[in-house]
A and B are shown apart, each in its own frame.
Chain A
Amino acid sequence: MSESESQGGSHLNGWYDLFSRGARDWLRHNEKVRDAVREHLPEIVAGADIVGGASRTVRVPVKMLEHYHFRLLNPSKQQGVGQGAAKPGDVLAQPSQGDTSGKGAAGSGEGGIEFTLEFKIDDIVDWLWEEMQLPNLKARVGRSEDVDWTREGWDKRGARSRLDRRRSMRESIKRRAIQTDAPSFTDEDLRFRQLNRREQPSIQAVVFLVMDVSGSMTDRDRQLAKTFFFWATQGLKRQYKHLDTVFVAHTTEAWEFSEEEFFKVAGTGGTVASTGLEKVNEIIEERFSPSRYNIYLFYASDGDNYTEDRQHAEAALEKVADSAGYSGYIEVSGTGQRPLATETGALFRNLNADGKPAGSFAISKVEDIWDAVRHFFQHQAKESNV
């Protein structure tokens, strides 16, 4: 019901409309559009600018589906019969400037309407996980019990804020069905939601999103990194009830940012990866004990790092890897001839060779993002099953 109300709009105004076949078939049409959009979801959402926005939905412009029939080719000239004061040779409409495609393509009207569909990001993540057959992660630490309040049952007494109107109305209807001349509402009809304490396992996690914002990182590089971060984080959120995100950006220095600022940061100058990684270690020590948190690190860079920094960076990364469940490297660069054959690429490769849970992905276009996301989650599932 609520769906037809929200989708059908204001034309719903009488009993008849509840049985509207047109609205029913329109909803079915929208369902088909959604399915079609879903198939192309990875490309659509990868391009969509969703990150950082407060809204939890993605708006996708779509065209009305056309039910195809056999049609003749459009003639170069349409003809028809008209009526009125006009004689042969009269020009009734001037050629439109520039636009030669014209609206002359008669009959395309029904297919031409555009409208916007809204997708909840949570739904998108669910679809994607289903689509890419991504496993759910298993947490490695933090099985402590937590106390939470959940709704459970109804009571005749309670705080006004927990009044359940629907259920109270039902009680009233039930009562009036057997009473004659009954008042519409009595205190006896009222029902209040009950809350109960529930012990729940608490699984906590933190993801460190570290980005190289040095001068060599272009806007496009940052956009790719941002999109990968977003979807990787969404995937982790599916798993962890409490997921903290920490944003760190660095050039030759490192800073922690809020989410909003993080994606706007653009720095200048060189790259010293160790600064970013040390910042992560610092924050772990201060706020996220590895015994209580599942820790994830994603580091995005174009791969350039000062060679002098190699040893520092190696040490810092190893330290992070000791406490992290996974360390991922995302190399964003459209130009690299040999992806991952970079200074930073070598760092993570060594890590992997040491048997630490780590992975590297080269992302040069949006489609690569899903390979990276898939790779990461599949790797993780394998790890945690061991």
Chain B
Amino acid sequence: MSSWRDYQPRIETLAKSLGLSYHPVDFEAVPSSFMMEISVYGLPVRMPHWSFGTRYIYQLIQHRMGNSRLFEVVFPGNPGHAYLANNNSLAENVLVTAHVLGHADFSRNNMVFRNSQDQVGEHIVEQAATHARQIGRAIEEYGVQRVEAVLDAALALEQHIDMHHRLRRERYPEYLPPKTEHIDSAFRKRFTSLDPELPSSTNQMHRQRAPLPPHPEHDLLWFVAQYAPELEGWERDIFLAVREESFYFYPVFATQIMNEGWASYWHARLLREADFLPQGAYVDAIKCHSDVVRPIAGDQQVALGVNPYHLGFSMWDTIIERDGIEAARNIMRQDDDFSFIRNYLTAEMAEKLKMFRYDASSNGEIKVAETDLNALHESLLAPKYNFGAPSIAATHVHVDGTLDLQHNHAVDGRGLDAERGRKVLEYLERVWRRPVRMHTVDERGEAVELRVQAA
């Protein structure tokens, strides 16, 4: 046997016998240049935008310096799609095949993925390609500048969705619900019965328009798409396309540690039990495994970061050893990284993994601060809140169409970067077509209002 593809059916049989359950996966070997693009865009075919070009060059530089090597990229769905670098060795590809099956099992069963997949559908690869075509047509029709203006705004807001709402959402009710009059006193009772002609408060004339938005709205992509005063149909479609892709990306982001750990656990386990592999291939694959889940670069004593593969792998390994596979599968189904870390990263485990929290001052000094478990939890999870973006809500649309945005600086602990904030407002005003303001605080904690600076 010479190709990894020959081992694929046997690995799958073994995986199923160990309880993995997943949609079929299409494997495809592609050039490493394509792998790099997939990782830049997050999807094999995605809408064009110049910002991907900058990420692409950045990746290219990293890649040339040998800092990054991608073995596989996998997209959940039915069927799932897995792309393998065609310069992977046989052993690497055997490992990667097993790893992909772990991901496929995870995305089929994990609640966060399920919730997203049920709404977005199980064909994100195809949908994203459709979005790309749709935007390509818009460019032909309206010109690259106009389409880019919409994408500048939409992609700048890509993290600002609200997973508590559905992907397909109704507009707010236009009017406030009629107030049910409480006739609580004998006097009022008699008064209202005096003149039956008296218009009742539920009368159409007295219906009250609901304020817009009726409550602080965190799904900014949806809000702009629905309520921007003069948005054209094709512009709305672009906003909704970006939003749909964000709904797809959310679970990947919110379960990264669990998901990579789960896939790493399964590639290690499947390899160990795959007695049909030639000895050489097995040894090579295990070596590759230890490179992937290594916490600290070879020649270093400490790492100023946590390898999610390593952390997730170590946690699953411990959980399965202690509580058995069924308990682990339950956790896998129900948790996201927040609950997973808080519930299962124990003090003993943190100590075994030699984890610490550090402070990095702006003068370059980096100091180990503590090993307290709660501090570790919060520090690990801090970048994951709110899809990794500041907490911002649309709070009010004025009569003249001016949009007020409110930054929840209390939750985020500090204000917004004013310069960047203004630039985003600039993008936003081009599609909102009315003034947009942001309320936040400055370095000293004083309230400030950001608005686009007059050119």
What is A's interface to B at a CB cutoff of 8 Å? 11, 13-14, 16-17, 20-30, 32, 64-96, 99-105, 109-110, 113
Contacts and interface: CB of A to CB of B under 8 A. Distances in A.
B56 A25 contact: yes
B322 to A, nearest CB: 22
B367 A79 contact: no
B354 A90 contact: no
B251 interface: no
Contacts of A90: 367-368
A16 B38 CA distance: 13
Nearest to A32: B50
Contacts of B413: 72, 75
A28 B50 contact: yes
The 3 lowest CB-CB distance pairs between A and B, nearest first, are: A84-B302, A22-B56, A25-B53
B18 to A, nearest CB: 29
Contact of A26 (B41, B57, B295): B57
A81 B37 contact: no
Given A14-B33, A73-B414, A92-B304, A110 B54 contact: yes
A22 B37 contact: yes
A17 B33 contact: yes
A88 B369 contact: yes
A190 B236 CA distance: 56
Given A25-B51, A104-B364, 20 more contacts: A21-B41, A22-B41, A27-B53, A73-B417, A73-B443, A80-B305, A80-B357, A81-B376, A82-B302, A82-B304, A82-B356, A82-B358, A82-B368, A88-B371, A93-B364, A95-B363, A102-B362, A102-B364, A110-B58, A113-B57
B76 interface: no
Interface string B370-382: 1100001001101
A68 B427 contact: yes
A65 B358 contact: no
A295 B379 CA distance: 75
B53 to A, nearest CB: 3
Contacts of B420: 68-71
Interface string B415-445: 1110011011001000000000000001100
A22 B369 contact: no
Interface stretch (B1-9, B91-99, B152-160, B275-283): B152-160
B130 to A, nearest CB: 15
B416 A11 contact: no
Nearest to B30: A16
Contacts of A24: 48, 53
A72 B310 CA distance: 29
Contacts of A105: 362
A81 B379 contact: yes
A32 B421 CA distance: 21
B360 A77 contact: yes
B389 interface: yes
Contacts of B37: 20-22
B40 interface: yes
B356 A71 contact: no
Interface of B: 31, 33-34, 36-37, 40-41, 45-46, 48-61, 144, 152, 155-156, 159-160, 295-296, 300-307, 310, 353-371, 376, 379-380, 382, 389-390, 392, 407, 412-417, 420-421, 423-424, 427, 442-443
A25 B353 contact: no
A81 B54 contact: no
Nearest to B58: A110
Contacts of A69: 156, 159, 389, 420, 424
A69 B386 CA distance: 14
B33 A89 contact: no
B303 A84 contact: yes
Contact of A113 (B51, B61, B414): B61
A93 B302 CA distance: 11
Nearest to A68: B423
Contact of B56 (A23, A73, A77, A104): A23
Contacts of B160: 70
Given A81-B357, A82-B303, A88-B356, A73 B50 contact: no
Contact of B303 (A23, A67, A83, A113): A83
Contacts of A67: 49-51, 54, 152, 155-156
Nearest to B419: A68
Contacts of B415: 72-73
Contact of B362 (A70, A85, A100): A100
Contacts of B305: 80-83
A16 B306 CA distance: 35
A87 B298 CA distance: 20
A83 B416 contact: no
A105 B359 CA distance: 14
A93 B365 contact: yes
B33 A88 contact: no
19 contacts: A17-B33, A21-B45, A25-B50, A25-B53, A28-B144, A64-B57, A70-B417, A77-B360, A80-B304, A80-B360, A82-B304, A83-B302, A83-B355, A87-B368, A87-B371, A91-B366, A92-B302, A103-B364, A104-B361
